[in-house]
C-alpha cells in the first residue's frame, strides 16, 4: 500500500506540473505570434489547444461514478447471494464497504418515483403512536428518524448510535415485545426465512408484519417468486394476510398480523419460495 501511495504522489506531481509548463509555453508563443502577426486568430487557435479543465474533471467524475456504481452492484449481488451471518462477517471486516453500498443504494433509489420506506412511515403515522417498532435492515434509520414511535433499528453495521449492529435473524429483543416488524427491501440473504422467524418471535400476538420488496422479485414470469407461495409460507409461520398491494411500479407491499396461536404443526416444514436477487440497473 505505501508503494501504491508514493507512486500516486509521483504521478500527481508529474501531471500537475505539465499543464503549467505547457501554459507558460503557450503564453510565450502567443506573445511571439501576436508580435509577429498581430492577429487575434492565433490567440484563439492557441486557446483551443489548451486543456479544458472543466471537461477533464467531468470525465474524472464520470469515471469515479462508474467505478462506484460497479462497487455497489458487486456488494449488492454479494448481499443477495449469501446468508445474513456471512454478510455480517463480510461488513465487519471492512465497514467502509457498507458506506459504499449505501451510497450506491441511495443513487439507485433517487430514480424511484416513490420510496417504500416513506409509505411505511405514513402507515405508522396513521396508526397508534405508542406502537413499538422493529426495523429489520434499517439502512440509515430513516424510519426511526421520521416517526414518534419507539423504534429498534437493526442493520449489519451501525452508522448511527440508535442502530443495533447484528444479523437480524438474531436480535437482542425479548419475545412478544414488539407491535410492528418492518422489512423494507431487506429480505436480502439466502436465509431470509430466518429473519421472518425472528420477527414472529419478537412480535406480540396481533402485531403487524410489514414487508416492502422489489417487485421483480415476485414476478414468476421473469423467474421471481410466486407471491401466493410467499403469503402461504408466512401464513404457516403464524400470520394472517391482511394486504397485498401491487399498485406501485417498483415495489410490492405485504401486510400480515400475527395470529394468537400458530396453527401449523411443527413437524411440517414450511416451503419457502426462493427470492431471486434484485439486480439494479447500470446507470
Ligand X SMILES: C[S@@+](CC[C@H](N)C(=O)[O-])C[C@H]1O[C@@H](n2cnc3c(N)ncnc32)[C@H](O)[C@@H]1O
Chain residues that interact with ligand X, rule: CB under 6 A? 79, 84, 87, 105, 117, 137-139, 142, 154-156, 167-168, 184-186, 188-189
**Cα separation values, 260 from 30, 171, 240, 257, 272, Å:** 87, 22, 10, 9, 22
| Residue 149 β-bridge partners | none
CB of 253: closest distance to ligand X in angstroms? 12
CB of 142: closest distance to ligand X in angstroms? 6
Judged by beta carbon, residue 142 or residue 276, the one nearer ligand X is: 142
Judged by beta carbon, residue 124 or residue 185, the one nearer ligand X is: 185
CB of 110: closest distance to ligand X in angstroms? 12
CB of 276: closest distance to ligand X in angstroms? 15
Judged by beta carbon, residue 137 or residue 227, the one nearer ligand X is: 137
The answer for residues whose C-beta is within 8 angstroms of residue 52's C-beta and 6 or more apart is none
What is the CB neighbour count within 10 angstroms for residue 177? 14
* Three-state secondary structure call for residue 112: coil
Q: How far apart are CA 81 and CA 279, in angstroms?
A: 11
Judged by beta carbon, residue 154 or residue 272, the one nearer ligand X is: 154
**Residue among 185, 201, 66 nearest 135 (CA):** 185
CB of 11: closest distance to ligand X in angstroms? 36
Q: How far apart are CA 49 and CA 58, in angstroms?
A: 18
Judged by beta carbon, residue 249 or residue 261, the one nearer ligand X is: 249
| Residue 132 β-bridge partners | 150
Can you list the alpha helix ranges (DSSP code H) found in the chain? 2-37, 40-49, 53-80, 84-93, 96-109, 116-126, 142-146, 192-202, 227-236
CB of 250: closest distance to ligand X in angstroms? 12
Judged by beta carbon, residue 9 or residue 145, the one nearer ligand X is: 145
Judged by beta carbon, residue 168 or residue 237, the one nearer ligand X is: 168
**Are residues 252 and 212 in contact, defined by beta-carbon separation less than 8 angstroms?**
yes
Residue carrying C-alpha cell 425479548: 174
Judged by beta carbon, residue 136 or residue 230, the one nearer ligand X is: 136
CB of 259: closest distance to ligand X in angstroms? 25
CB of 273: closest distance to ligand X in angstroms? 18
Q: How far apart are CA 243 and CA 148, in angstroms?
A: 24
Cell of 241: 394476510
Cell of 224: 421471481
**Are residues 131 and 114 in contact, defined by beta-carbon separation less than 8 angstroms?**
no
Amino acid at each position: 500500500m505505501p508503494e501504491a501511495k508514493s507512486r500516486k504522489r509521483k504521478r500527481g506531481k508529474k501531471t500537475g506540473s505539465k499543464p503549467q509548463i505547457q501554459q507558460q509555453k503557450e503564453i510565450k508563443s502567443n506573445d511571439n505570434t501576436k508580435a509577429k502577426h498581430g492577429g487575434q486568430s492565433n490567440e484563439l487557435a492557441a486557446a483551443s489547444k489548451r486543456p479544458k479543465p472543466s471537461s477533464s474533471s467531468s470525465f474524472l467524475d464520470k469515471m469515479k461514478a462508474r467505478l462506484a456504481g460497479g462497487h455497489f452492484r458487486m456488494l449488492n449481488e454479494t448481499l443477495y447471494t449469501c446468508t445474513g451471518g456471512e454478510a455480517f462477517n463480510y461488513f465487519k471486516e471492512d465497514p467502509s464497504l457498507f458506506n459504499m453500498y449505501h451510497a450506491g443504494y441511495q443513487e439507485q433509489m433517487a430514480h424511484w418515483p416513490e420510496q417504500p420506506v416513506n409509505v411505511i412511515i405514513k402507515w405508522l403515522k396513521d396508526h397508534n403512536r405508542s406502537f413499538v417498532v422493529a426495523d429489520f435492515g434499517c439502512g440509515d434509520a430513516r424510519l426511526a428518524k421520521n416517526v414518534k414511535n419507539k423504534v429498534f433499528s437493526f442493520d449489519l453495521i451501525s452508522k448511527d448510535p440508535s442502530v443495533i449492529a447484528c444479523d437480524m435473524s438474531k436480535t437482542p429483543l425479548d419475545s412478544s415485545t414488539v407491535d410492528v416488524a418492518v422489512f423494507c427491501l431487506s429480505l436480502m440473504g439466502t436465509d431470509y426465512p430466518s429473519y421472518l422467524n425472528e420477527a414472529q418471535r419478537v412480535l406480540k400476538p396481533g402485531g403487524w408484519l410489514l414487508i416492502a420488496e422489489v417487485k421483480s422479485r415476485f414476478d414468476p414470469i421473469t423467474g421471481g417468486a410466486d407471491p401466493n407461495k410467499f403469503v402461504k409460507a408466512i401464513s404457516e409461520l403464524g400470520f394472517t394476510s391482511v394486504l397485498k398491494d401491487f399498485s406501485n411500479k417498483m415495489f410490492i407491499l405485504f401486510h400480515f398480523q400475527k395470529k394468537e396461536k400458530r396453527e401449523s404443526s411443527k413437524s411440517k416444514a414450511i416451503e419457502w419460495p426462493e427470492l431471486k436477487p434484485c439486480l439494479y440497473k447500470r446507470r
